[in-house]
Amino acid sequence: MNTQKNDDSAMAALFREDEIPVPPKPGHPVTGKVVNIQNNRILVEIDGTYTGIIAGREAVDGFDTAKKLLEGDEVTAYVVEDENSDGYYVLSLRKASREKAWDKLVEMKDSNETIDVPIREANKGGLMTEFNGIRAFIPVSQLSPEHYPRVNGANSNEILSRLQKYIGEKFTVQVITAEQDENKLIFSEKAGLSKKRDAALKKLNIGDKVKGRVTGIVNFGIFVTFDDGLEGLVHLSEITWGKVSDATNFARVGEMKEAVVIGIETGKISLSIRQLTPDPWLKNIEKFSVGDTIKGEVEKITSFGVLVRLGDEINGILHTSEISDEDEEVKLEVGDEVEAKVIEINPKEHRIALSMKGFDNKKKAKPKKKKAVEDKNEGEDEDENKEKQKNEDLKEPKKKADKEETKDEKDSKESKKKETKKGE
């Protein structure tokens, strides 16, 4: 009995040794041992029975696997073709690396790891890049402040022109979507720089001077990027001490600008360029003191009062309640010259308050208008006199005719009297 059992075991082992492994199947991964590397060709033994070959573009992947392989190493590759005429199965490291790449991308997404990727193309919606042969997209909304195309009116052609300038550059990004089944890979440059930005923001204080690059010019101001992706806005009112209506007159995209931090709120940074220079308003008001009597010209009339130009871009505010006393009424118009007293100077708010109470501004309110009225009245009198004269001229012939008619009537009566006497 024991002899029979031993014979059965030996036969089973023999049959197992004679079993032929399943051949490699195209479209599936296989693992084998590198048996030869020569002339950019890698021969791989599969299950001790089949031989695969990795050559040409199929030997290139995003991990530089081929360069690191040595004879005797194990390697995983994708089967591209069945056994060829040379008896080799065609294998691909490139396609195998895509599988590894997707696994790596999912890991990076979960760990918020960042990577550097090259920009290959641009369209109106964003930038195209790749990771280990897998095409990826960076939407405009996910670009860092430095690269975000700030364009007035969201002109799509101008946006595309701005984005095309980044082709060939490398961006630091973070994976926000990695779905292999849908071949959907989306990166975010903004998220990729968030750690640096957050760290830099913690160190930033109001009053700090910064130097950065102009990244956008819009209707309401200038955007400047500085220190690890931080971006601040220089509002129109903070560009210069004078009045600014068009920011493009004061900066160009790409230009370096210095500014001072004047506000930090919920991650938004406010900057000022004008505060780097002395305030000329403070210099100009040195000649004014509370209690001074001044003369100025009405520049603007508002619902709350009147702005009076005092010279050197200095305006005084004449509140409605300070224009006249309760028992008198003074009406002002733009261009009128007025006399008033300085009742308050507020350097912080750039405010000079005035009062006209106690000053006689009635006659000075509309000097030009009054002359115009007088001229008008004189003209009206002259026209009236002309009209009277015209009427008199029209009446004169009638009077003359009436006189002539009266004379005829008189002669007729005299004639009748003479005839009557003769008859008698």
pLDDT in tens, 116-152: 999 999 998 999 999 988 899 999 999 998 898 887 7
Alpha-carbon dihedral angle through residues 253, 257, 259, 263, given to the nearest 10 degrees: 20
For residues 303 and 308, give the distance between their C-alpha atoms in angstroms, rounded to a whole number: 14
The rounded Cα 3 to chain-centroid distance in angstroms is 92
Q: What is the structure's pLDDT at 126?
A: 95
User: Using 50, 70 and 90 to split pLDDT, how confident is the model at 363?
Assistant: very low
208 DSSP 8-state letter: -
| Mean pLDDT estimate for the chain | 82
**Sequence-separated (6 or more) residues with CB below 8 Å from residue 287:** none
pLDDT in tens, 349-358: 889 999 988 7
Q: What is the structure's pLDDT at 169?
A: 95
Q: What is the structure's pLDDT at 1?
A: 47
Q: Percent of the chain scored above 70 by pLDDT?
A: 79
377, pLDDT greater than 70: no
User: Using 50, 70 and 90 to split pLDDT, how confident is the model at 359?
Assistant: confident
Residue with the bigger pLDDT between 407 and 113: it is: 113
For residues 199 and 22, give the distance between their C-alpha atoms in angstroms, rounded to a whole number: 56
User: Using 50, 70 and 90 to split pLDDT, how confident is the model at 364?
Assistant: very low
For residues 68 and 24, give the distance between their C-alpha atoms in angstroms, rounded to a whole number: 24
Mean pLDDT of the 384-401 span: 55
Q: How many residues does the chain have?
A: 424
Report the predicted TM-score, pTM, of the whole model to 2 decimal places: 0.56
Q: What is the maximum alpha-carbon separation in the chain?
A: 207
370, pLDDT greater than 50: no
CB-CB contact of 57 with 31 (8 Å): no
Q: How far, CA to CA in Å, does 325 sit from each of 185, 301, 337, 355, 407?
A: 75, 19, 18, 10, 72
For residues 298 and 338, give the distance between their C-alpha atoms in angstroms, rounded to a whole number: 7
pLDDT in tens, 178-209: 999 899 999 999 998 888 888 889 999 999 99
Greatest mean pLDDT range, 55-69, 96-110, 118-132: 118-132
**Sequence-separated (6 or more) residues with CB below 8 Å from residue 77:** 29, 30, 32, 44, 52, 54, 91, 92, 93, 95, 96
Going along the chain from its start, the domains and CATH numbers come out as 17-97 (2.40.50.140), 112-192 (2.40.50.140), 201-276 (2.40.50.140), 287-364 (2.40.50.140)
CB-CB contact of 330 with 362 (8 Å): yes
- Burial label for 1, CB within 10 Å (0-12, 13-18, 19+), is exposed
Q: What is the structure's pLDDT at 153?
A: 72
pLDDT in tens, 12-24: 554 455 567 889 9
Q: What is the structure's pLDDT at 138?
A: 97
For residues 43 and 46, give the distance between their C-alpha atoms in angstroms, rounded to a whole number: 10
User: CA angle at residue 249 from 245 to 253, to 5 degrees?
Assistant: 120
Residue with the bigger pLDDT between 253 and 267: it is: 253
Q: What is the structure's pLDDT at 410?
A: 54
User: Using 50, 70 and 90 to split pLDDT, how confident is the model at 387?
Assistant: low
Look at the block and give the residue holding tokens 């430095």.
Answer: 146
Q: What is the structure's pLDDT at 408?
A: 52
- Burial label for 7, CB within 10 Å (0-12, 13-18, 19+), is exposed
Strand partners, 179: 184
User: Using 50, 70 and 90 to split pLDDT, how confident is the model at 374?
Assistant: very low
